[in-house]
Amino acid sequence: MVLASTAFDVSSQSNFVAYWGQSSAGSQKSLGEYCGDSSIDVIVMAFLYQFPNTKLDLSANCRSTFPGSELLHCPDVAADIKKCQSQGKAVILSMGGAAGAYGFSSDDDGRKYADTVWDMFLGGSGSQRPFDDAVLDGVDLDIEGGSTAGYAAYVAQLRSHFEASSDKKYYITGAPQCPFPDAMLGSTLNSAWFDMVFVQFYNNFCGLDAYPQGFNYGQWDTWAKSQSANKNVKLYIGAPGSQSAAGRGYVDASTINSIASDIRSKYTSFGGVMTWDASQAFDASSWGQSVSSALKSGGSKKRALEPLQGKFISTRSANVTAGAMQVKLELVEGSDVYISDTENTFGFHVRIQSADQPIRQGWELHIPLPVGVSVAQASAQAHNIRVHDNTLVVVDGSSINENMAFAFRVAGQHIGNEFGLPDPAKIMLYTTA
């Protein structure tokens, strides 16, 4: 049996994890081809979709079975697993998924199946091993149905095997939905030792598309540091790799890079980004490569700690609907806008770049601020402004014309050089008259 050690660092904050096997884009490359991409640190093979009567589905990447059995036998995938591990990547098998017949009726069932998994996929010596002598680096629990019974006992029994083996490091990971606590894994997460938790911030109200107000990473961080059996567990932002990878929650690479940078700067529990799935994230859009590159470069660069003197730094823009009108907003950082770390202040412009018609009446501009920022005061020259629920609310009774700009300055905690431009797509412009 070949035991491959990996260079994967579970303590890192820059890991990129990709699920592979289900070909959610309609087609997918082989496991070995994805492992040739340096962007990926962990590959989670999906799925062991039926247990304790073991059945695997790797969506056409393996079709052969052991004689007289429905159990897949995958020599080519086995060779790819070894290739991945030789390149410093961890390869983990995911149990469960959104569809499948799985679950335990008791703790004893969980313990017995842990012995089976150890012998079939990990460091044991079962007579039928789907990936032959390739030894996986751990097991992932993506439990989305069935009973909640037996999983804590399953993890504990697997851990007893891990501790008795000195050949390599093994990992237990979980993939809960973002609503806290997770309906299926909540109790197991509280009582069993997990190394990494890939929170699915999509297909739910608390997903990436709800950032910053509805995005609940902070709840998960509190769990990690106060309730988790492993107080050093690493949390990952789970994200769809493309628009078609999930019903809701997809954000483009630039947006998730900004979110990840913000979360990384505030929470030591952050471990990186997980994506569903490789076939979507590593298509022609290069979403996966872009997100991984940003993680490994440490996120967005810190800004200068002195007043900016006419230096243009960045622009974000979006079309915003105001009644029947379409208005293009542009947020500009720099160009005589003041940033000070020592004074904990940040300034930016909101520019009405174009409007299909003037707003010749009163208006309100609602600007959500990034999560974690606490604004004590705000000002905008010649405009009334207040802060409500971490949102800047600007009120004016005059009209808005094309190329009109408002200069803002905010002060409070976690601002200074850690502050980022608000997302213009989340700004709301209301007419009040």
Q: Per-residue pLDDT for the chain (433 aa), expressed as one digit of tens each?
A: 444 434 789 999 999 999 999 988 888 899 999 999 999 999 999 999 999 999 999 988 999 999 999 999 999 999 999 999 999 999 999 999 998 899 999 999 999 999 999 999 999 999 999 999 999 999 999 999 999 999 999 999 999 999 999 889 999 999 999 999 999 999 999 999 999 999 999 999 999 999 998 999 999 999 999 999 999 999 999 999 999 999 999 999 999 999 999 999 999 999 999 999 999 999 888 999 999 999 998 754 333 322 322 222 334 444 544 444 445 555 554 433 344 444 455 556 666 544 455 555 566 777 777 666 566 556 655 566 777 767 777 776 555 554 455 566 665 555 444 445 566 667 776 665 5
Q: Which residues of 376-410 are buried (b: 16+ CB within 10 A; e: fewer)?
A: eebebeeeebebeebbbbbebeeebeeeeebbbbb
Query: Residue 100's pLDDT is what?
Result: 86
The residues near 319 (Cβ < 8 Å, ≥ 6 apart) are 326, 327, 328, 329
Query: Residue 99's pLDDT is what?
Result: 86
Query: Is 33 marked active-site?
Result: no
Which 3 state secondary structure label does DSSP give 39? coil
Which 3 state secondary structure label does DSSP give 134? strand
- Helix crossing, 151-164 with 107-121: angle to 10°? 40
Yes or no: say if 122 and 170 are a contact pair by the CB < 8 Å rule: yes
Give this prediction's pTM.
0.70
Q: What are the angstrom distances between the C-alpha of 182 and each of 179, 298, 381? A: 6, 30, 46
CA distance 391 to 212: 10
Query: Residue 298's pLDDT is what?
Result: 77
Q: Count Cβ atoms below 10 Å from residue 179 Cβ, excluding itself.
A: 16
**Token couple for 9:** 């660092």
Query: How many Å from the N-terminal Cα to the C-terminal Cα in the chain?
Result: 76
Query: Residue 346's pLDDT is what?
Result: 58
Yes or no: say if 196 and 234 are a contact pair by the CB < 8 Å rule: yes
**Token couple for 69:** 């059995």
Dihedral of alpha carbons 194, 94, 16, 199, sign: negative
Query: Residue 432's pLDDT is what?
Result: 55
Query: Which strands make up the sheet holding 384-388, listed edge to edge?
Result: 384-388, 391-396, 363-368, 428-431
Yes or no: say if 422 and 350 are a contact pair by the CB < 8 Å rule: no
Q: Which of 144, 163, 306, 330 is catalytic?
A: 144
Nearest to 348 by CA among 333, 330, 362: 333
